[in-house]
Amino acid sequence: MANFDELLNRYDELSRNLMNSMKDGKKFIVVTHIDADGLCSGAMTFVALARRGATVSGRTVPDLDPKTIEVLREERYDFYIFTDLGSTLVSELALALDNRFLVLDHHELPEVSARNPAVVNAWQYGYDGGTEACSSTMAYYFARALDYSNRDLAYLSVVGAVADRQDVGEGRSLTGLNGKALEEAQSSGLLTVSKDLLFYGRETRPLHEAIASSSSPFIKGLSGSKDAALAALIKAGIRMKESAKWRTLAELSSEEKKKVTEVVASFLAPAGGGGAEVIGALIGDIYTLGMEDAFTPLRDAREFATLLNSCGRMGKPGLGLSICVGDRSDSLREGMRLLSEYRAEINKSVQGILSDSGRVEIREDFAFVTGDDLVDEKLLGPVTSILASAPQFKDRVIVARTKSGESELKISSRVGDSHNREVNLGVMMREAAEKMGGVGGGHMMAAGAKIPLSRGPDFAKTVLERAGV
């Protein structure tokens, strides 16, 4: 059972202690993950401390491991705050940093970590960290405890939640702690929620391209074909351009959106059954950031999330942090350039895997994917997520690997969109990685690990054993 009041009381206690440290002039560092949820949570924590007058630095890391912890220890900050990582390495953090750290996280954690007072994790307070509370939401309530005026940061918790695919309530709504933060973002006037078609790119992509890019659901005859989508929309009488500019989904009238729905339905019907259900899945909650310019990727929370992911995954996480804290000039322009490169790299990696059967090994309902020398380790997570919705993988558990440096393997795992056997990837990745001398963890439906390169074959075998296959 969720205990919101207990969480708020814990944050109030922490904020009082930390404000005393700030008055003493102690140096803080916020260490966060490079994905969008990590960037949002790290940015909120950084801003909240800075607004209180703290001496604070920020750092992003693709993974937290014992080597990284040792590097951080040697930098001799007075207090370390970790967001979106750290729950599975609390013993190592305590050994290196004594009691000079705090973990704000939502990943599943072992019991030894849950007992440590330096950890504030969604699971400790009855929230499912995979669907009801992201790191950004955990960081938001920490920021709000430091100063109630930090409610103006609530919209970033929504961006973090959709980035981590936690919009899994009815009609793609946010629930649990995420839902509470959403209500505060709405009451602040910075964000509105509406029901609309869910095609990605509603603010920035030409309508036909948004429809053609749909992979979940896959629309036979439209998905993957911009020309077919354009022809179908023109035939339906939808005006595709405003002067010389392609129109986006956000520009359409209610009547035009109804026509778009009818076009999509006409392609689903011949496929046989399930058309109404699929159409229903294409309509849901849209989160619009009213203070952002129209036709930019910051206007829609899901596009904002992808922009931040592109910054983090393309080697410029600091750029993502700058955008989160309000830079709308050079950082935004560079971020939009990276977004284009990010999409191209993701597409190249996905197509490279789908076109090479030698990279995939099917074992029962598991698909082991080898991305060595094809997929950059920072892109492995997004690539695996896309594979989870591909027709050939959606009813399986995907475990993908790629090389990390000269001596390690990065692992990413996802439960396919249509897979129906219960499996807890967070526990599975953590236990299998520890057996291999590595580290791992995550959520029930999505998790990852890092292990020695030489243990790759053993890791796959261990995963299957843990799954009872």
Residue 272 pLDDT class (50, 70, 90 cuts) = low
On whether both 168 and 215 belong to a single domain, the answer is: no
Question: Do 374 and 443 fall within a single domain?
Answer: yes
> Do 163 and 261 belong to one domain?
no
147 shares its domain with 210: no
pLDDT at position 336, please?
92
Q: Read off the pLDDT of residues 318-374 as tens digits, 9 standing for 90 and up.
A: 999 999 999 988 899 999 999 999 999 999 999 999 999 999 999 989 999 999 999
Looking at residue 182, its pLDDT comes to 99
Q: What angle do CA 135, 139, 144 make, to 5 degrees?
A: 150
- Which of 125, 158, 187 is the last residue before a domain boundary? 187
Which of the four pLDDT bands, split at 50, 70 and 90, describes residue 167?
very high
More confident call, 469 vs 51: 51
In the DSSP assignment, the letter for residue 293 is P
Work out how many domains the chain is built from and give that number.
3
Domain that residue 153 falls in: 4-187
In a domain, 415, yes or no: yes
Domain contains 401:
yes
Residue 43 within a domain: yes
Q: Are residues 137 and 29 in the same domain?
A: yes
CATH of the domain at 382: 3.10.310.40
pTM of the model: 0.92
Judgement on whether residues 235 and 367 belong to the same structural domain of the protein: no
- CATH code (residue 114): 3.90.1640.30
**C-beta neighbour count of 197 within 10 angstroms:** 20
CB neighbour list of residue 123: distance below 8 Å, 6 or more residues apart:
106, 108, 109, 114, 129
Q: Are residues 208 and 180 in the same domain?
A: no
Would residue 363 count as lying in a domain? yes
pLDDT tens by residue, 63-94: 999 999 999 999 999 999 999 999 999 999 99
Does some domain include residue 386?
yes
Last residue of a domain, one of 263, 281, 299: 281
- The residue out of 259, 281, 303 marking a domain boundary is 281
Q: Is residue 336 part of a domain?
A: no
Determine the pLDDT at residue 468.
75
Integer Cα distance of 216 and 196 in angstroms: 16
Asked whether residue 18 falls in the same domain as residue 111, the answer is yes
* Residue 231 and residue 169 share a domain: no
Q: Which residues of 416-427 are buried (b: 16+ CB within 10 A; e: fewer)?
A: bbebeeebbbbb
pLDDT at residue 219, rounded to an integer: 85
Does the pLDDT value for residue 274 go beyond 60?
no
Residue ranges of E strands in 87-172: 101-105, 119-121
258 compared with 278, residue with greater pLDDT? 258
Instruction: Say if residue 110 is preceded by a cis peptide, omega within 30 of 0.
Output: no
- The per-residue pLDDT of the chain, averaged, comes to 94
DSSP 431-442: HHHHHTT-EEEE
Per residue in 208-222, pLDDT (tens digit) is 999 999 877 778 899
In this structure, are residues 39 and 31 in contact, taking their beta carbons and an 8 Å threshold?
no
Q: Would 121 be classed as within a structural domain?
A: yes
- What value does the mean pLDDT take over residues 260-277? 75
238 and 136 in one domain? Answer: no
pLDDT of residue 82: 99
Residues in the chain, how many?
469
CA distances from 352 to 70, 217, 342, 349 (A): 37, 21, 15, 5
Same structural domain, 124 and 264 = no
pLDDT of residue 224: 86
Q: Does 396 map to a domain?
A: yes
pLDDT for position 275: 61
Compute the half-sphere exposure of residue 449: CA atoms within 13 Å on the CB side of its CA. 31
174 and 212 inside one domain: no
Q: What's the confidence (pLDDT) of residue 300?
A: 98
**Which residues, 6 or more positions from 287, have their beta carbon under 8 angstroms from its beta carbon?**
158, 162, 182, 191, 192, 193, 300, 301, 302
Region 300-308 average pLDDT: 98
